[in-house]
Structure 1
């Protein structure tokens, strides 16, 4: 009975972690969506400010990430790899917004630069998403949890 209860708790913890990571991904999608909307609506829009005014430490995921030094995630390899692509996501989105503040509608080279920044941000985002999944798997594997 005790073993069965332990397995149930392990599975509940895993599902909780997967749910949390899914919410983190949704937050990042929302952040990126605001950048795309911000380019179209201009630098003074609320969407634009939500991108430009938020760095990798001020977004919801960044705040959580920075507080994890004493948590089970900090000890898994994927956790340490997230910082770089997460920073690149924010940097590229901010750069795209700065370029969009210029005359992007009339400048083909400026549009090209904006697209390159968005591509780099999307690549960084893909890395973060992959690492988040690996982070959960590694955490639970390290704890010897038999999942499903």
Structure 2
């Protein structure tokens, strides 16, 4: 696959990684990071999984809008994409791995059409493509 970027952005992590800060070059992101309580931290900041879930959800929504438009379907008012990212021990190498669960809410559409659009968006979304085969993920849709 060849990609010709039309936009590039950089962010810098300082401090202790999960216990430090992250700042984007634009300054729009300037966050204190802290491990969640479930991972032994105080939970008083954001974390990489929270940032990843936000980016994936926004990207997926954009993909959903595009595939819906191309299919001649208007995205209903109130449509939502919720991405839940999990982190835990990876039994394969005693390291850590991620999971991703994508829940697409398309109110007013029929179930088959909602499923079709959600799966098409998953096939098109750059975050979904980047994680395919690397992260166990699920896609569900609700109407």
TM value normalised by structure 1: 0.27
Greater Rg, structure 1 or structure 2? 1
Q: Judging by fraction of residues, say which structure has more strand.
A: 2
Higher relative contact order (CA 8 A, sep 6+): 1
Q: Could you say which structure has the higher helix fraction?
A: 1
